Each structure stands twice: as structure tokens, then as C-alpha cells.
Structure 1
Amino acid sequence: MAGRCRDGPRSRSGDPAGGGLKSARTPRQQGDEPSGGSEDAAEPLRELPRWMRLYFYGMHGVTLDVLLSSLQGLMNHRDPKLLGFSSPYLCIMHSLTHFALEKIYSQKRCFRGRPVVFHLVFYPSVYIGLQILIGNINTLTEQVRLVSGTQLVVHYVLALYFAQVFHRWLSGLQYHPDTPRRPVPEDSAHDRGPSPRALPGLVRFLFFGMHGFLDEVIFTSVFNLVEKSDRTLSGHTSLWSFLMYGSCSFVVEKLYLHLHFGRGWGTCRRLPIYICFIYAWEFSWGLALRQFGACSWDYSHYPHNFMGLITLLYLPGWLCLSLYQDVLSNVLMRINYVSKNYKVHL
């Protein structure tokens, strides 16, 4: 559950130099009849909606916050809990800055004859400037926080990641606006070239892990606001939560696909299975992490707990997250991935 840490796209255009994230449609050839797994490839696809990109950008930014702060804490304190920090405020700021970076990236066509200038100078400079702005937005009326040399290096490396990996990968995502259906298996599209297919399992796992970070940061920030009157809305989670949430949600999605599409079970019949699996998963992970002093939650002071690792007090929260899990799965089934051979051209 999110309260456990108490211790503390668009399609790319055919012009490779354009680089902008542009909408795309897969035309239906006259006389072609879609069949089998290629049906989705013949239906119109379009760019990811703006709200979906902003949602993903916020999760991605929170994930970077948690990753960097947890690694910094590990180096300073050697804490195996790997606690990291972010906030809903930072989530919003990351959504906006990621969106701005998307627009900046789309302007690389203006550097068609000077790609090195764009990738190694212009884009990193804009990225670093936005990160410094985020870090100082709370202290503009007090004192401007200076950025150390190490932080500049980290920001520069992240800027290269955004320009060479993140934006390029995002341009391979396309949105299917129709009613979600059971996705085409990954191996059924291997020989069909760049035809749209379901998101790879690894991508779904990463998405669920990032969403777990967002859930815990929001929950703990609200908890700190209510219990400690912390108006900074600082929230925290653990790097272990990424693996735990990512794997749990991945399995729950498989249950959803099997029980809903395979057996036709309704929500009321699926929920008890979700809940039993979630509690078993949380208990198993907590028991394993506790052996190494890495378990970041302890419910011993809560009623109806078992070994301090699970508690019925969080049952309403797990029910809500289980229902939302089905919503997320339906959204992901509307997203298609076009595999492309991305090469770095500087």
C-alpha cells in the first residue's frame, strides 16, 4: 500500500531529421480485408492524447526524483530501505517541463545541418535550465540555490537520455481510440515489420512500477499533510516498491485479461482474487525484505495486522487501486507500439 514508507507519443514523421512527435494514421489499402492479429494495423491510429502524455510525464519525473534521491541516500547513509522522495507539486512541474521539452525536441529540424549543436549543446542547456528553475521555484523569494558540479553532470547525462532515448521511444507510441480489446501477443507481430502491436511486457512492467511510485508519493504526502501539517507535500517511497508494484500490477493485469476476456467474469467476481493476490504479494515481499533490514513499512501499530507486514486497515485502498488497475489496463490496451531501429545520429 502507498502508506508503507513510514520511516522517514506520438508517431515520428518519415523525415528522420524532423524529430518532432507528429500524429500518424495507418491507411487501409483498397480491397484489403483485416484479419487475425493484423486487424489493428489496418485501423486508424493517432498520437497519444495530451492528457495521457502529461500523466506519463508526471510519473516519469517522479520516478527520476525517487531514483536520484534514493541513490544519494544510499551513498550517504547506506540504508538498505532505499528511500526516495518527491511530491505532487514536483509531479505537476515535471508534467509541464516534460511537455515543454517535447516542444523543444520537435524543433531539432531547425538544426538539420548541425545535429551535434542540438543534441550536445542546445537541448542539454534548455533541460538544465528547466531543472534549475524547478529546484529554485520555492526559494525565489529567499535565496537562489546553486547547482553543484556533480548535479550539472547528472542533469547533462539525463538530458542526453531524454534526447537520445526518451523522445525517440515515445514517438513509437500510437493511440487507438476504439474500445479496448485483448492485445495482440508480442510474438505474433515479430515478422510484420513496423506494424503496430501491443506494448511489450517490459514496457508495461516499467509503467506499473512508475505508477506505484506515484501512488506512494501522493499517499505519503497527504498523510504527512494531515498528520504532521507538512505543507511542502513531501512524499516518499522505496526503490523496492518499483519492483513490487511493477510485478504485482503486471500479474494482476494478466488476471484481468484472463478472467474478463477469457471467462467473462464481472468486477465483483474478479476483485476478491485481486485482493488475495495483492495481500499475498505484499506479505511475501515484506517478509523477504525484512531479512535484510530493507522493509520500509511496519504495520505493527495498526489494528488487524499480521506480523506487521499486512493490515486490513488498507483494504479500502487496495480495493480502489484494484478497480483503477483495470482502468489502467484498458488504457494501455489502446496504446500500440511501432518497433523502430533507433540509431543515434549526431
Structure 2
Amino acid sequence: MAREGPRIRSKERAASLVAAAAPRQQEPFGDTGDAGESLRALPRWMRLYLYGMHGVTLDVLLSSLQGALTNPDAKLVGFSSLYLCAMHALTHFALEKIYSQKKCFRGRPLVFHLVFYPSVYIGLQILIGNVNTLTERVRVVSATQLVVHYVLALYFSQVFHRGMAHLRYLPASRCADLCQSVGGPDGPPSAGLPGFVRFLFFGMHGFLDEVLFTSLFNLVEKSDGGLGGHTSLWSFLMYGSCSFVVEKLYFHLHFGRGWGTWRRLPIYVCFIYTWELCWGLALRQFDACSWDYSHYPHNFMGLITLLYLPGWVLLSLYQDVLSNVLLRIRHSLFVPTNLVNKVGFWF
């Protein structure tokens, strides 16, 4: 009987941990307790990062579809900017506060979701679109734009905010133990976000990377003070799949074989160049390749160039950082039972 004592206590603590976490799932964005608790809401800096990245993705998606309707092009190029990225982050940080006030509309959910929230959302989007032109003239919003804004407001109210409300953040000190114990040395993601969520994250981050790079490139090249950038819808699939595979390499080489960063880096870079070349060759067959490095030195078929090697090295290093951050994020709908058992063990 004495040997059963620690096991019973650990199970009781695991049960109390789950019970304590359950009520907090109803509070979307507030801080959920002190630093000693196991699962907490996403920190503010991470939410701002996700809001900006998600906003850039919507900009690229809408602008590329609009361009495809007016001037069909297989490249599917879309546009955004550093300014819009910052504005998306700030406005959606404000919108999460608006969303948290839905409790004031108890008994009238339709009023909140169909009238109040969309009105605030549309007003903020109109304000963003006119900030740069207030000293000249106010842009007139067409009926089509109003419909698009209203549909997006419904998406944010019914899908996006609810999804964000289920995300939880695990302290780093406990994430390392749980990753090793739950999924084994080669399988940390079994305790984290599902694969398709990670793919979506990497695809959206690819949009952000390209918009950031082209914005800075245009700023230096054109010297007109503009911060506009562009990318292609195909980049979502290219970056999403590439980062997903590189992350698998990171898990295997780092957790499985214990390889250090500088030992893994050449493998990352070689894979990235191979991936870019293969995608470029495939897209060229349909006249859908949006890049051409023929005018750059040390290029191969105009699809890859050693001139961008420093950039790929930096992105490869940053890839490991992103993977480590994603390992600390849990979705309450996808937390496996064995994670709860391991939490009970470690506590």
C-alpha cells in the first residue's frame, strides 16, 4: 500500500490540474494565473505576432484573388506591407478586447455577432485604409468592399477568435521535460499542435517573410519611402511544406541524434535550395513561377542563387526558434491523454 501513495497523489494532482484548466478555457485572452501554473494563455507579444502574420496572409489572399479576376495570371501575386502588418497586429489586439465583451450581450448573441462586432471591425478597417490619405481625401468604400469586410468580420467572430481562445502556452522549463517524455526523443509534436496547424503557421510565416523581404528590397531600390511588398499564393504551399520538412529534420537530428545547430545548418540549407529549385522547375511548366534570378550572379537556371545564401542561413536558424515556440503551444481540443498523465507524473 505504501508504494501506491505517490501514484495516487500524482493522479490526484493531474486531475486537479485538468479541473483547474477547464474553467479558464472560457476566458479567451486574459492572463490565467501566475507563472507556477502549467498551461497559460498566449502572451501578448505572441498574439500580436500571430495577428500581424494572419493579417498579411489575408491581404495577400484577397489582393491575389482580385488580381486574378481582373487580369488572370498563373503567378497569383498578392500584396501587403510592413505598415499593414503593424496595423493588423494592433487592430486585432483591440478587436480581441471587443470580442471579450460578448458576455455583455447575453441572451442577444446575434446582436453581437451580426451587428456590433462587424460594425466595429468595418470601422477599424476603413480607418486603416484612410490613415495615409487623411490629409488629401477620404477613400470611398464600395459596396463590394463592405460585403468583404462584413464576411471577414463573421470569420473573425465565429472562427478566428474561438480558435485563439483554445491556445495555451507551456513554460519552457516544463516543455522540455514533457516533449522528451510524451513523444519520445523523435516525436515532440505528439504533445503539441497537429501537423496541419503547423503547416498553416509555416505557410503564413512564409508570406510574412516574403512581404518583409520585398518591402525592404523595394525601400532600398526605389528609395520612395514605400513599405509595400508582394508574394505569390504558391509561396504558401512552398514555404509551408519546406518548413514542415525542415522541422521534422530538426526533431530527428536534434532530439534523436543530438546534433548541434552548426552541424544541422548545412543540411537545412541544401534542402532549402533543392526545394526552391524543384518548385521553380514545376511552376515554370505552367508559367506560374514568380521569381527569376537570371540577372543575379552565381545563379542556376535563374531559380536559385548563392547571393541569397546569407538570407537562407538566417531563416534556417530562425526556423529552429519557431519550432521551439510551437512546441510550447497547446490546443485544448488536441491535448492528448498521455500528456495529462505525464503532467501528473512531473508534478
With normalisation by structure 2, the TM-score equals 0.84
Residue in structure 2 matched with residue 67 of structure 1 by the alignment: 61
Residue in structure 2 matched with residue 46 of structure 1 by the alignment: 40
Amino acid corresponding to residue 121 of structure 1 in structure 2: V
Q: How far has the Cα of 1:231 moved from its partner?
A: 1.2
| From 133, 137, 140, the counterpart of 1:139 | 133
> Contact conserved, 1:13 with 1:20, CA < 8 A, in 2?
no
Q: How far has the Cα of 1:21 moved from its partner?
A: 2.6
Q: CA RMSD in A?
A: 2.3
Alpha-carbon distance in structure 1 between the residues aligned to 2:205 and 2:247:
14
Alpha-carbon distance in structure 2 between the residues aligned to 1:25 and 1:308:
54
Amino acid corresponding to residue 22 of structure 1 in structure 2: G
Residue in structure 1 matched with residue 301 of structure 2 by the alignment: 307
Q: How far has the Cα of 1:282 moved from its partner?
A: 0.3
> Contact conserved, 1:65 with 1:85, CA < 8 A, in 2?
yes
Amino acid corresponding to residue 71 of structure 2 in structure 1: H
> Contact conserved, 1:283 with 1:310, CA < 8 A, in 2?
yes
Q: How far has the Cα of 1:20 moved from its partner?
A: 4.1
| From 104, 122, 126, the counterpart of 1:110 | 104
Q: How far has the Cα of 1:206 moved from its partner?
A: 0.6
Residue in structure 1 matched with residue 284 of structure 2 by the alignment: 290
Residue in structure 2 matched with residue 256 of structure 1 by the alignment: 250
Deviations for 1:78-127, whole angstroms, at most 9, x for unmatched residues?
01100000111110000000101100000000001210100000000000
Structure 1, 227-236 or 68-77: larger mean CA deviation: 227-236
Q: How far has the Cα of 1:337 moved from its partner?
A: 1.1
Residue in structure 1 matched with residue 144 of structure 2 by the alignment: 150
| From 81, 84, 89, the counterpart of 2:78 | 84
Amino acid corresponding to residue 238 of structure 1 in structure 2: S
Residue in structure 2 matched with residue 126 of structure 1 by the alignment: 120
- After superposition, the Cα gap between the structure-2 partners of 1:297 and 1:15, relative to the gap in structure 1 and judged at 3 Å, is closer
Residue in structure 1 matched with residue 197 of structure 2 by the alignment: 203
Larger fraction in helix: 2
> Contact conserved, 1:101 with 1:127, CA < 8 A, in 2?
yes
Q: Aligned residue pairs: how many?
A: 306
> Contact conserved, 1:12 with 1:171, CA < 8 A, in 2?
no
Residue in structure 2 matched with residue 161 of structure 1 by the alignment: 155
Larger Rg: 2
Residue in structure 1 matched with residue 345 of structure 2 by the alignment: none
Q: How far has the Cα of 1:15 moved from its partner?
A: 8.7
Residue in structure 1 matched with residue 3 of structure 2 by the alignment: none
Unaligned regions of 5+ residues in structure 2, if any? 1-19, 184-189, 335-347
Unaligned regions of 5+ residues in structure 1, if any? 1-10, 29-42, 186-195, 341-346
Residue in structure 2 matched with residue 57 of structure 1 by the alignment: 51
> Contact conserved, 1:175 with 1:335, CA < 8 A, in 2?
yes
Q: Quick check: 1:99 aligned with 2:93?
A: yes
> Contact conserved, 1:12 with 1:21, CA < 8 A, in 2?
no
- The share of aligned pairs that are identical, in percent, is 76
Alpha-carbon distance in structure 2 between the residues aligned to 1:241 and 1:208:
10
Amino acid corresponding to residue 163 of structure 2 in structure 1: W
> Contact conserved, 2:77 with 2:231, CA < 8 A, in 1?
yes
Q: How far has the Cα of 1:217 moved from its partner?
A: 0.5
> Contact conserved, 2:64 with 2:76, CA < 8 A, in 1?
yes
Within 5 Å, give how 1:223-242 maps onto structure 2.
Answer: 223-242=217-236
